[in-house]
Amino acid sequence: MAKQLLVVDDDPGLLLAVSETLRAEGYEVQTARRGSEAMVRVAEALPDLIISDIRMPGMDGYALVRNLRASPRSRLVPIIFLTAKDETADRIAGFRTGVDAYVTKPFEPEELVAIVKSILERVQRTHSDLARMFGDQERNDDLDLIRDEDLTDAEWSVAEAVARGLSNKEIAAELKLSLRTIEGHISRILDKKNLSNRVELALHVRERRLKRLRELMPLFYPF
């Protein structure tokens, strides 16, 4: 499944050029001309990565990143600044705000594509590492015994899938639900359990599994 990208820039020519470059690489690209419009796009569907200018009318790039990082739903989405602000102080401000990469204009399209691929591959490796870390040995056998009683069956299925390192799109495909439904489940789970992000949710599921394992140990090792 193609990765979903969001490109944010008030320059229509640059917006088109960047979007077409990324589409040529097989990505699905949504666009926004303002930070406020980008927030609407994110609310509609969470992208896998965001590329944003800094200087924009209304909500600028810094404010956009702060808003995204303040939300549990979008705080882990990778963000690249693509901007003409090329001073060292500008770069430092960008990274302090929470961006993952900083690319200055003018730029080489090949460099931007390479950075996008590198970040998305890193995210995928993180998902895979989480899957290996938490394992799926309890995935099928004892879900009813380890599930969190505060969560519905559907929410627990989503939580367990998050712990296996699946992305929202992969969870939606596996559970045969819409992406928006999965995003809603995750948001409600985080609220119910007072968790901040997917990593904390994965750790919560892991703790439930370890608790169940400790309960079972006396059955196998009674002495």
Phi, then psi, of 34 in degrees rounded to 5:
-140, 160
How far apart CA 6 and CA 22 sit, in angstroms, is 10
Structural domain spans, the chain: 4-129, 135-220
Range 135-220 has CATH code 1.10.10.10: yes
Confidence band of 221 (pLDDT split at 50, 70, 90): very low
Stretch 3-28: mean pLDDT: 94
Smallest Cα–Cα separation from 50: which of 4, 105, 113? 4
pLDDT in tens, 164-199: 889 999 999 999 999 999 999 999 999 998 898 888
* CATH class name, domain 4-129: alpha beta
Whether this model's pTM surpasses 0.75: no
**Taking 50 as the threshold, does the pLDDT of residue 219 lie above it?**
no
**Taking 60 as the threshold, does the pLDDT of residue 213 lie above it?**
no
Specify the pLDDT at position 149: 76
* Backbone angle region of 98, left / alpha / beta, with phi > 0 → left and psi within -120 to 50 → alpha: left
Residue 123 host element (H or E): helix 109-134
Compute, in degrees rounded to 10, the torsion defined by CA atoms 54, 55, 61, 64.
Answer: -170
Q: Six-digit token pair at 99? A: 């961006």
pLDDT in tens, 87-128: 899 899 999 998 999 999 889 999 999 999 999 988 887 666
